[in-house]
Chains A and B, each alone.
Chain A
Amino acid sequence: MVVRRLERDEVDGIFAALADPTRRDIVARVLRQDASVSVLAEHYAMSFAAVQRHVAVLERAGLVRKERRGRERLVRGDVDTIRAATRLLDDYEEIWRGRLDRLDDLLAEPTEGPAR
């Protein structure tokens, strides 16, 4: 699968959306199983309207989508967006893995003078 690149303001929206523990929990939940806002609201000690606002933030960030299923509108996680967000740190991790690999080669060399 090709992961699309994110625009910078998209990235800001994604991380801001995920900064809230309730929203992280909602994303984790709807990645496992689609759920309506009313079903989601049962899991949190807050009003339906508050949960709806959290879902709206996640929707704007592209982390979840609403899909009509019969009479219901179900919230589902957008896997592509979530993968693209974590890829930022994956790239940085690759930088460090490369550095440590080179560092190890350097440490394997004799410290003084030519090769013994």
Chain B
Amino acid sequence: MTIVSSKQDPEALTFVIVAEFAAPPSRVWQVWADPRQLERWWGPPTWPATFEQHDVVAGGGSRYYMTGPDGEKARGWWRFVSLDEPRYLEFEDGFSDESGRPNPQMPTIRGRVELEEISAGTRMTVTSQFATVEQMEQLVQMGMVEGMTQAMGQIDDVLAAS
């Protein structure tokens, strides 16, 4: 996997990351569409994600939670805005309360995933659009960054080996 580029745009409140994978788009699509595969990479190692519901159809939704190191659960939801298998996926990603109801006080991110076939496999472009600065700040201050040190260590290993 190669990260081709990443771009932070504080004014537009977006973050775009582009990576290439040695697998065709139909295969990369599965890591988004199959909840068992998705939960293996969505959460960091110390906050693994569990998807209880994952209806990958336009207007469909997901319910998931992430489990922290002390067993605490952070619950979230997705809503699929539009889909074009295996090329395009757009969804809203938000937080839920303990009973699984969407919490409007918490950050909502609009995610756009583009999968493009290239000779080496797939180029994936993920755009994260934040609604407000406040939401972006909230998100980063939450436990979602837990475990990043570990994840970054893994990346360093990959870089050192290549």
Contact = CB atoms under 8 A, between A and B. Distances in A.
B1 A12 contact: no
A2 interface: no
A98 B136 contact: no
Nearest to A105: B41
A18 B144 CA distance: 26
Contacts of A15: 10-11, 13, 133
A88 interface: yes
Classify the interface of chain A: helix, strand, loop or mixed.
helix
Contacts of A12: 133-134, 137
B151 interface: yes
B152 interface: yes
A95 B133 contact: no
Interface stretch (B14-22, B52-60, B72-80): B14-22
A99 B17 CA distance: 11
Contacts of A90: 8
A24 B154 CA distance: 36
B40 interface: yes
B126 interface: yes
Interface in A66-80: none
B51 interface: no
Interface string B110-123: 00000000000000
Closest 9 CB pairs of A and B: A98-B151, A104-B1, A102-B41, A89-B8, A15-B133, A103-B41, A91-B140, A11-B137, A94-B148
10 contacts: A15-B10, A88-B136, A91-B145, A91-B148, A100-B1, A101-B155, A102-B151, A102-B154, A103-B21, A103-B31
